[in-house]
Amino acid sequence: MSTKRSRFRPVFSCLSLLVLLAFTRPADPITVYLIGDSTISIKQVKVYPETGWGMPFANFFDESVTVDNRAMNGRSTRSFIEENRWQSVLTTLHEGDYVFIQFGHNDEVKTKKTYTTEEEFSTNLVRFITESRDKKAIPILITPVARRQFDDAGKIKESHEVYSGLVRAVASEYKTPLIDLDKESQALLQQFGVENSKLLFLQLAPGEHPNYPEGKDDNTHFNELGARKMAQLVLAAIKSQQLPLADRVVKPQSK
């Protein structure tokens, strides 16, 4: 009799596991909002191969996650608020959602109409944080991604020193998760070097692409490869900081 019981035990174990899996509650659906500027935003076909890093980022997560990319070309924290773009996010924000916040490119340039003073920039970041938390959503601050700028010795130059510092300071004061994309992207560009880093940006010779018949020399905006590399840096930070969102990253298919 004992032999028969041991023979059927694996069958019962498998059935028990299947029953448990059948009643395992699926993860609640959430939305990850991306707010920021042209380095993140979804691009129109007419400007390809320009690609915002938010585009490949949307493919990293399982079916429980919707990535809603609200980033827009040329926006600063101030113009994003003034145009009611933040309000449109806030009205649809729910408990458990995420808000990834990356500004600075357009805030810091004094000659642009989107210029935002240092004090106002910090105040706007705090507003994004507090109003997200009021909705029981999770804000994530991101420093502005680096531009491709090297000195004569081939060393990557700091392009957002002041405004990246402000993001770090707000994150520290308000105990907000921080993804230091400025620092990480600088390291990546340094690794690629002066010439090879061109492969990540919208760098096109005349006649190389029909959207840019005269060519393009852009050291701020990414091509498809560059956008994917930047998105991977953000994903790596999500995992290394063990944010709960990491549990919703697509799992590799077993072979």
CATH code assigned at 118: 3.40.50.1110
* pLDDT at residue 150 greater than cutoff 50: yes
Q: Quick one: average pLDDT of 183-193?
A: 98
What lies within 8 Å, CB to CB, of 195 at 6+ separation is none
Q: For the chain, how many structural domains are there in total?
A: 1
Selection from 129, 131, 117 nearest residue 163 by Cα: 117
Question: Is-catalytic flag, 105?
Answer: no
Q: Quick one: average pLDDT of 202-224?
A: 96
Question: Domain limits at 205?
Answer: 28-247
Domain membership flag for residue 49: yes
Cis peptide before 26 (omega within 30 of 0): no
Q: What is the pLDDT of residue 27?
A: 77
- Beta-bridge partner residues of 150: 156
The residue length of the chain stands at: 255
Active-site choice (6, 38, 122, 185): 38
Domain membership flag for residue 152: yes
Question: Is-catalytic flag, 94?
Answer: no
User: Of 4-8, 49-53, 162-166, 173-177, which range is least confident?
Assistant: 4-8
Question: Is-catalytic flag, 185?
Answer: no
How far apart CA 241 and CA 227 sit, in angstroms, is 21
Q: Which residue has the higher pLDDT, 8 or 101?
A: 101
Q: What is the pLDDT of residue 251?
A: 83
pLDDT band at 26 (very low <50, low <70, confident <90, very high): low
Average pLDDT of every residue of the chain: 91
Q: What is the pLDDT of residue 202?
A: 97
Active-site choice (119, 195, 214, 254): 214
If you compute the radius of gyration of the chain from its CA atoms, what whole number of angstroms results? 22
How far apart CA 20 and CA 209 sit, in angstroms, is 54
Selection from 43, 46, 142 nearest residue 98 by Cα: 142
- For 76-93, the pLDDT digits (tens) are 999 999 999 999 999 999
* pLDDT at residue 224 greater than cutoff 90: yes
Domain membership flag for residue 17: no
Domain membership flag for residue 74: yes
Q: What is the pLDDT of residue 12?
A: 44
How far apart CA 131 and CA 149 sit, in angstroms, is 35
Q: What is the pLDDT of residue 17?
A: 46
pTM of the model: 0.88
Q: What are phi and psi of 100, to 5 degrees?
A: -90, 125
Domain membership flag for residue 9: no
Active-site choice (94, 221, 240, 254): 221
Q: Quick one: average pLDDT of 34-61?
A: 97
Domain membership flag for residue 55: yes
Q: What is the pLDDT of residue 138?
A: 98
Percent of the chain with pLDDT over 90: 87
Domain membership flag for residue 19: no
How far apart CA 188 and CA 146 sit, in angstroms, is 10
Domain membership flag for residue 46: yes
